[in-house]
Amino acid sequence: MLDQFFSQVSFVDIFNFCVFLAFTICYTYQLYYVFVVLTHKPKQLVAKKNHKFAVVISARNESAVIGQLIHSIKVQNYPSELIDVFVIADNCTDNTADVAREAGATVFPRFNSEQVGKGYALDYGFNVILGQYADRGYEAYFVFDADNVLDVNYFREMNKTFDNGAVASTSYRNSKNYDSNWISAGYAVWFLREAKFLNQARLTLNTSCAISGTGFFISAKVIERNGGWKWHLLTEDIEFSANSILEGERISYTPTAILYDEQPITFRDSWNQRFRWAKGFYQVFWHYGARLAKGIVTNPKGSRFACYDMLMTIAPGMLLTIISVTFNAIIIALAAAGMMSTGVMVASSVSSICFCLMNYLVFMFMFGVLTTFVEWDSIHSTTAKKIRYMFTFPFFMLTYVPIALVALVKKCNWKPIKHSINVDVQEFAQSESRRERA
């Protein structure tokens, strides 16, 4: 019977099974993360003192939205004298600098056509602060994107995490334009899933989290030790996270610190942004992948799993899907060209492509449904749209497949996304305050 079974198994079947097995082995642990989140609540922290912070914002042609962010910082439920706001007006051709100054920020204009990108802008800003404002005694630095809006208790909650010894922490990333369309909703669900079912689980399990572009703080000691922001790859946030984990530093997460981020609403902007992310993840994998793999064995026991988790985060897991689909497509093309005579392999390839894509869609649909229902009260939208976008989320994620494929071969230039969503800052703050009391 075994001989008959193996005689019917082609190399196509073996290849596809190996890809499926590799994916399952690598990422099954994230299902345990879901169990941890659903069965454990985050520990409640208390701060013994209020600390002094500086906010650093890299902004390029963000005059339409940066005033909202600065206003949401100025109205924080936290002593205003303990928060200073610095804006790097990076290669701006509009009046971003003037708007930021009028809103109460200290502005550093920067013009550099060679070193382009957020990482270089942050490095410039930190070096100016370290050189000209060192006497102000900042204990940690917060980094935001210009289109963000903060819950009124954001700094109060992040201060608790810092006061309890964290050298860096990310926060709960919500969206201020979830219901614009299926694209913005797709982003929103993905970031809610990242906050709830990745970072919260990591926090509970006492392993390291990862910062994700915006809404985080870093201890001033880390910035001073590195002489500024020394992470300049396309995804400088993930590069910082990987580097921190390799150095044995744990990034925390503050689930009660809520930030609202604006998401792209056109597919072109979405493509450009996610293309840069995909390229950046490849860069981080290339620079840090081998060291993280080594760290799984050689790092101190408390940080070995963090190395594995980060390796799986930056590892091109999407490539497993791409490789499987591409391989099977080649088999089908060869058969159609008459270069392969067997129909068994073609049938296996067709079924494998369908199985691979359906598995991906079903998996993403389950995560979309789970995230939407668990975070239902945090999503600012109607019931009808929440339900509708649960079904579009898997297809939003599926569009990442061609993006990741193109990112393998095409050069990426940093392109800013124009933001213009205006919101009622007070409405968001009051909404979360009501949720907090409930």
Residue type, 114: E
What pLDDT, on the 0 to 100 scale, is given for residue 273?
A: 92
Output the domain CATH number for residue 248: 3.90.550.10
Instruction: Look up the domain containing 28 and give its range.
Output: 10-36+316-409
Contacts of 207 (CB under 8 A, 6+ apart): 250, 303, 305, 306, 309
Number of folded domains in the chain?
Answer: 2
- Characterize the bridge pairing of strands 168-175 and 83-90: unpaired
In a domain, 417, yes or no: no
| Full DSSP string of 1-70 | -HHHHHHT--HHHHHHHHHHHHHHHHHTHHHHHHHHHHH-PPPP---SS---EEEEEEESS-TTTHHHHH
Is 331 domain-assigned? yes
Comparing C-alpha atoms, which of 379, 429, 75 is closest to residue 257?
A: 429
Cα separation of 290 and 281, whole Å?
A: 14
Q: Which of 314, 337, 360 is the last residue of a domain?
A: 314
Let me know: does 171 contact 216? Beta carbons within 8 Å: yes
The dihedral through the CA atoms of 294, 295, 299, 305 has a sign that is negative
pTM, to two decimals? 0.87
Residue listed under structure tokens 């124009």: 418
Asked if 145 and 57 count as a contact pair (C-beta separation under 8 A), the reply is yes
Task: Confirm if 254 and 160 have CB atoms less than 8 A apart.
Answer: yes
What contacts 16, CB < 8 A, 6 or more positions away?
324, 327, 328, 348, 352, 355, 356
Q: Is the Cβ–Cβ distance between 299 and 431 less than 8 Å? A: no
∠ Cα 247 254 276 (to 5°): 65
Task: Examine the domain organization and report whether 116 and 230 are in the same domain.
Answer: yes
For residue 246, give both structure tokens: 């390799």
Is the same domain home to 354 and 279? no
Asked if residue 323 and residue 283 are part of one domain, the reply reads no
Q: What is the pLDDT of residue 126?
A: 96
Domain termination site, one of 296, 314, 332: 314
Residue 85 main-chain phi, psi, to 5 deg = -115, 125
Query: Do the Cβ atoms of 315 and 289 come closer than 8 Å?
Result: yes
Measuring CA to CA, which residue among 242, 214, 233, 244 is closest to residue 119?
233
**Are 333 and 232 contained in the same domain?**
no
**Of 299, 314, 329, which residue sits at a domain end?**
314
290 and 324 fall within a common domain:
no
With tokens 């010894």, the residue in question is: 165
What does the alpha-carbon distance between residue 233 and residue 60 come to, in Å, rounded to a whole number? 18
Alpha-helical regions (H) of 118-246: 118-132, 154-163, 182-194, 200-204, 220-226, 236-246
Q: Is residue 115 part of a domain?
A: yes
For residues 62 and 87, state if they share a domain: yes
Q: Is residue 432 part of a domain?
A: no
The answer to whether residues 127 and 269 belong to one domain is: yes
Indicate whether 237 and 115 sit together in one domain. Answer: yes
**pLDDT confidence of residue 412:** 79
Residue 297 inside a domain? The answer is yes
In a domain, 2, yes or no: no
In a domain, 304, yes or no: yes
Q: Cα–Cα distance between 360 and 392 in angstroms, integer?
A: 13
In this structure, the strands spanning 149-150 and 252-261 are antiparallel
Q: Mark whether 92 and 223 lie in a shared domain.
A: yes
Does 251 lie in the same domain as 186? yes
Residues 286 and 321 in one domain: no
Contacts of 361-369 with CB under 8 Å at 24 or more apart are: 361/394, 361/395, 361/398, 362/394, 364/393, 364/394, 364/397, 364/398, 365/390, 365/391, 365/393, 365/394, 367/193, 367/197, 367/393, 368/189, 368/193, 368/393, 368/394
In a domain, 45, yes or no: no
Q: What is the pLDDT along the chain (438 residues), one digit of tens a residue?
A: 434 433 444 565 666 667 667 777 778 899 999 999 999 999 999 999 999 999 999 999 999 999 999 999 999 999 999 999 999 999 999 999 999 999 999 999 999 988 888 999 999 999 999 999 999 999 999 999 999 999 999 999 999 999 999 999 999 999 999 999 999 999 999 999 999 999 999 999 999 999 988 999 999 999 999 999 999 999 999 999 999 999 999 999 999 999 999 999 999 999 999 999 999 999 999 999 999 999 999 988 888 999 999 999 887 665 666 666 666 666 666 666 655 555 545 555 555 556 666 777 888 999 999 999 999 999 999 999 999 999 999 999 989 888 988 888 888 776 666 665 555 555 555 544 444 433
Q: Are residues 331 and 273 in the same domain?
A: no
| Contact assessment for residue 431 and residue 390, using Cβ atoms and an 8 Å cutoff | no
Q: Report in angstroms the alpha-carbon separations of 389 from 190, 193, 375, 381, 386.
A: 12, 14, 14, 11, 5
- State residue 247 phi and psi, 5-degree precision: -85, 5
